[in-house]
Structure 1
Amino acid sequence: MAYTALYRVYRPQAFQDVVGQEHVTVTLRNALREQRLSHAYLFNGPRGTGKTSAAKIMAKAVNCEQPQDGEPCNQCDTCKAITDGSVTDVLEIDAASNRGVEEIRDIRDKVKFAPSDVRYKVYIIDEVHMLTTEAFNALLKTLEEPPPHVIFILATTEPHKLPATIISRCQRFDFHRIPLREMVRRLSYICEAQQVRVEEQALTLVAKLAEGGMRDALSLLDQAISYSKDQVTAADIMQITGTVSQGYFSVLAKHIAERDVAPVMEQFDKVMVQGKDPEQFLNDFLHYYRDMLLLKTAPHLEEIVERTTIDEQFAQVAKLYEIADLYEAIETCNQALTQLKWSTYSRVLVELTLVKLCQVQGKAPAVPVQSAVGNDDLAALVNRVRVLEEKLAQLAQGQAMEAGQPRAEEPRKSEARRPAAAGGGSRTPMNKVREAAMVIDEAMSRQVRGQWSQILAEVKKVKIQYQAWLVNGQPAAVGGDSIIVTFTSPIHCDKTMEPELKSVIERAIFAVIGKQLQLLSVMEEEWQSVHQQAAQGEAQTQEEQDPFVAEAIRLVGEGLVEVKE
């Protein structure tokens, strides 16, 4: 007899076998027990979470000859026939291959005929979001008022693509990703039933890689059993999936924290020699940093850690990183993953990213400014007060007017010296850029850089050419109600400021970030000049707020400052 895949052998045959979806199964069992059946149901959720299995169990339960507390008995002829797929009144339709209006019209014409073998005709339409608009329109009236002997069960992974008129005619059930612990428990039960020895760490790794889908987990476990000989180990799982061990990432992250580029490159070369995919490697490394960030910010939430195990080595490496360093590392990896989709030389780009991570860790900490004045500085304070008094006397005599004129001309000179970008400057008003540069929101800037790939994806949904114009840009900063995006190409810079494209980009930013921001596209050289001027202005402001001046104000009075202005 031909071998049957594990996910088919252990497909749930009763509601109690459906793992991690109690909020759905309890509701359906109560409805069956009390005979409160709806004419249409909508099951939506991620792949491999039990939508189609629950639909088939529902079809058996409504037609079972001896139902038991809302569950099908799976012993009567009807249940066995439905399980075998030999009942013509229970139809499972794949909407991906039967998406046209003709197929739906055929269903509409046949629903009025009474079932021949069972009490209810059950139509299970899988991936229903693939139907065309005309097919949805043909289904509407039948779905709203079907004959009493017909039940529709629609299943989809993308409910947002369904028309609201379809959703409103169904009872909607949202299937969730299966929790890690419940998935490991189910996998352990299946291994015992199959008499297969599996390491507990291997089961945990399989459950994490499945990302909440039981079917994916069973397929991966099936592959691992075929690969291994006597016992399935975590090394076997990593070998067949192309993932890298956690210990390797811990060693790599330690070298990055120590800013030692040579061993970092050696470690990466070991992975490439083994034939690992650079994009998969970088994706796993990003999740490693993500889990480290969770450990440092929310150490009690070990259940939501995706790829790593909180062991002693992982905790020791986490101590080498500050939270700000992890922010930068995650943003750097995320930007590199976005660029990998358009790059031909993926390995070179990943190597460049690793070197950049070492440089991110090498940033010198800012020196704190002393805010207190010691007793030893009292003589200096007296001298500063004396200088201020002399300037007051000069102002009183009107001799400081000439000294103030060159300062009034300085902004014009500095603006005239603004370097032009290659091929000409941008069309963006530079006064708005300067205003934004003076009030940069670092937290919002980090958020935008971290979610820039999502913004590009939103723009791509509108038109792929729009994304091609924007992909050359990099979000530099967010200040006030503006976002500054820098470009190296003047053509891309000017194109993104055209009203239509600019409006699409701003809507995409609002959809992802949740804040209305005005797009300001500038050349990279222009932004560096403006940013440097803003930094100098901030430094001058700090000088004006020098502790010596503060002490002088305390000694002489507030009026002194007003006269100086």
Structure 2
Amino acid sequence: MAYTALYRVYRPQTFQDVVGQEHVTTTLRNALRENRLSHAYLFNGPRGTGKTSAAKIMAKAVNCEQPIDGEPCNQCDTCRAISNGSVTDVLEIDAASNRGVEEIRDIRDKVKFAPSDVRYKVYIIDEVHMLTTEAFNALLKTLEEPPSHVIFILATTEPHKLPATIISRCQRFDFHRIPLKVMVNLLQGICQSQGVQVEEQALQLVAKMAEGGARDALSLLDQAISYSKDEVRASDIMQITGTVAQSYFSVLARHIAENDVAEVMEQFDRVMVQGKDPEQFLHDFLYYYRDMLLLKTAPQLEEIVERTMIDEQFAEVANLYSFPALYAAIETCNQALSQLKWSTYARVLVELTLVKMCQPTANATESMGASPVNSEELTAMSNRIRVLEERLVQVMQGQVSIPGQQKAEETRKNEPRRIAAASGGSRTPLNRVREVAKAMDENLTRQVRGQWSQILTELKKIKIQYQAWLVNGQPVAAGNDAVVVTFNSAIHCDKTMEAELRSVIERVMSTVLGKPLQLLSVMEEEWQSVDQQVGQKDASDEPEEDPFLAEAIKLVGEGLVEVKD
């Protein structure tokens, strides 16, 4: 017969076989024992944690002819038939490949028929989050009120993708990642039953790589058994998975702490020659520093023991790093891992990361925190702060005036108002705008304002986008062969002064007005400032009144005074 994979051979057949999910199996066994069955269940959690296995065990338990304390007997014809998949009333549906509304409608039409071989029809829908919105809608009513002989069990790794209306109709069970110690015990028992010799550290590595998933752990163990000859060793696991030994990371981290770039590059090259993946290398190195940080902050934390072997070498290297140095190393590795997703040259990026970690600047925070403070400098600084505080109190009470304050205030009062758009003003030369303001033609200005709507209409006929850029502008002055148009939006102002759009607008104005005029687009604040400056200059150009003449008018009246040159 063909070889069967370990994760299929050791698939749980009872709730007691499901490891690491006691909070789920206990609840289900009690419900079966007391006959408090729900019509719909939702099993969600990480991959390989027993969701589908628990669903099949549930299907056997509700239909078992001789259940034992909420467990299926696995001896009766019904249990054996369900295990073999020969019962048509227990259906396992993969929603990833049967995600359409037609498949769900087919289920909805068939649930009304009574089961032919067992007591309950059980529908196990795996990866249910892959169903379409229409399929979920088709499932809603049936899921809420199915016939008494039907049980739905939904399984998913991404429950957040399910509609809330589906989740609210189910009893939800969250499957957890299997703890590392539990996983090691499971692997050890399987190795003993298989007659396989395996190192303790190899089991630790397998459990670590599985990240809480029993199926992943068994698949990796199966591969390691095929690779090894007499005994599964930790080196075999590292060779298969492409990981690096912890002792290597300890040597590398020591050289980084000593800022020895040459040794670091040599150690990294030694790993790359062995065919290791740069991204996996950096991922493991990040976790090495993470474990080091946890060792220094919480030595009794159980997860440290799970992740790393706490030996003398690891503890010695940890003493070489301060907290700021560890923060910097972890942050540098994390940034590099984010960049690796988009980088073509993974090895070069990892080498650059290692060189950065060796630079003295990486430990700048540490050196700054460790440098002693000169007592004399501290005393002098304290005295200066005290004097400044006293002066500040006096200024606030009005006892002392700040030198130059009055002069600065007068300067600000006399200073003309700055243009509001100075940081983002228009590209129009303001000298040209001043010329138009000085030589403004009132008749031409009224003509432009009166025919402005016609100009916009003609511009819209050419292209509606052109009219949209100019529609917010207002003509304020015309003269000296130019028109000044003001805007409140800097984007519209700048756009209308671009060569292409500006030439089209000037051509339309020439056609409508019968006279060629240049377009000058400015911000409204700029125009107000220019207009104000021109008005002040015109007022200053008026001749000053003769004081003798003013006194004569005051004495005899303006009617009796005649001025001759």
* Paired position in structure 2 for 1:106: 106
* Paired position in structure 2 for 1:65: 65
Q: CA RMSD in A?
A: 2.8
Q: Which amino acid counterpart does residue 179 of structure 2 have in structure 1?
A: P
Report the alpha carbon displacement of residue 401 of structure 1 after superposing the two structures with TM: 2.2
* Paired position in structure 1 for 2:27: 27
* Paired position in structure 1 for 2:289: 289
* Paired position in structure 2 for 1:225: 225
1:369 is the counterpart of 2:370: no
1:158 is the counterpart of 2:161: no
Change (3 A) 1:401 1:235: same
Report the alpha carbon displacement of residue 304 of structure 1 after superposing the two structures with TM: 4.9
- Report if aligned partners of 2:336, 2:349 keep a CA contact under 8 Å in 1: yes
Q: Which amino acid counterpart does residue 49 of structure 1 have in structure 2?
A: T
* Paired position in structure 2 for 1:193: 193
* Paired position in structure 1 for 2:83: 83
Name segments (4+ residues, structure 1) moved above 4 Å.
370-374, 396-400, 402-406
- Report if aligned partners of 2:325, 2:363 keep a CA contact under 8 Å in 1: no
- Report if aligned partners of 1:198, 1:231 keep a CA contact under 8 Å in 2: yes
Cα distance per residue 1:225-250 (max 9 Å; x no partner): 00000000000000000000000000
Change (3 A) 1:113 1:237: same
Structure 2: distance between partners of 1:266 and 1:405: 68
Q: Which amino acid counterpart does residue 119 of structure 1 have in structure 2?
A: R
Cα distance per residue 1:154-174 (max 9 Å; x no partner): 000000000000000000000
1:256 is the counterpart of 2:259: no
* Paired position in structure 2 for 1:335: 335
Cα distance per residue 1:422-462 (max 9 Å; x no partner): xx99xxxxxxxxxxxxxxxxxxxxxxxxxxxxxxxxxxxxx
Report the alpha carbon displacement of residue 312 of structure 1 after superposing the two structures with TM: 1.2
Change (3 A) 1:373 1:324: closer
Change (3 A) 1:398 1:77: closer
* Paired position in structure 2 for 1:210: 210
* Paired position in structure 2 for 1:436: none
Structure 1: distance between partners of 2:118 and 2:401: 106
* Paired position in structure 2 for 1:401: 403
SS of the residue corresponding to residue 226 of structure 1 reads helix
Structure 2: distance between partners of 1:134 and 1:400: 75
* Paired position in structure 2 for 1:451: none
Range moving further from structure 2, 304-313 or 142-151: 304-313
1:146 is the counterpart of 2:149: no
- Report if aligned partners of 2:60, 2:78 keep a CA contact under 8 Å in 1: yes
* Paired position in structure 2 for 1:244: 244
Q: TM-score, normalised by structure 1?
A: 0.67
Report the alpha carbon displacement of residue 370 of structure 1 after superposing the two structures with TM: 4.5
- Report if aligned partners of 1:51, 1:155 keep a CA contact under 8 Å in 2: yes
- Report if aligned partners of 2:41, 2:154 keep a CA contact under 8 Å in 1: yes
Q: Which amino acid counterpart does residue 262 of structure 2 have in structure 1?
A: A
Report the alpha carbon displacement of residue 191 of structure 1 after superposing the two structures with TM: 0.1
- Report if aligned partners of 1:259, 1:362 keep a CA contact under 8 Å in 2: no
Structure 2: distance between partners of 1:47 and 1:3: 24
- Report if aligned partners of 1:257, 1:361 keep a CA contact under 8 Å in 2: no
* Paired position in structure 2 for 1:278: 278
Report the alpha carbon displacement of residue 125 of structure 1 after superposing the two structures with TM: 0.2
Report the alpha carbon displacement of residue 398 of structure 1 after superposing the two structures with TM: 8.8
Cα distance per residue 1:448-489 (max 9 Å; x no partner): xxxxxxxxxxxxxxxxxxxxxxxxxxxxxxxxxxxxxxxxxx
Superposition map of 1:293-304 within 5 A: 293-304=293-304
Report the alpha carbon displacement of residue 310 of structure 1 after superposing the two structures with TM: 1.2
Report the alpha carbon displacement of residue 309 of structure 1 after superposing the two structures with TM: 1.2
SS of the residue corresponding to residue 91 of structure 2 reads strand
1:124 is the counterpart of 2:155: no
Report the alpha carbon displacement of residue 124 of structure 1 after superposing the two structures with TM: 0.2
- Report if aligned partners of 1:93, 1:123 keep a CA contact under 8 Å in 2: yes
- Report if aligned partners of 2:124, 2:152 keep a CA contact under 8 Å in 1: yes
Report the alpha carbon displacement of residue 258 of structure 1 after superposing the two structures with TM: 0.7
Report the alpha carbon displacement of residue 302 of structure 1 after superposing the two structures with TM: 2.9
Structure 1 gaps of 5+ residues are 410-423, 426-565
Cα distance per residue 1:288-329 (max 9 Å; x no partner): 111111111111113355532111111111111111111111
Q: Which amino acid counterpart does residue 8 of structure 1 have in structure 2?
A: R
Report the alpha carbon displacement of residue 361 of structure 1 after superposing the two structures with TM: 4.1
Cα distance per residue 1:176-228 (max 9 Å; x no partner): 00001110001000000000000011001100110000000000000000000
Report the alpha carbon displacement of residue 402 of structure 1 after superposing the two structures with TM: 4.9
Structure 1: distance between partners of 2:166 and 2:399: 83
Structure 2: distance between partners of 1:178 and 1:398: 73
Number of residue pairs matched?
Answer: 400
SS of the residue corresponding to residue 365 of structure 1 reads helix
Change (3 A) 1:402 1:238: same
Structure 2: distance between partners of 1:248 and 1:324: 23
Structure 1: distance between partners of 2:348 and 2:216: 32
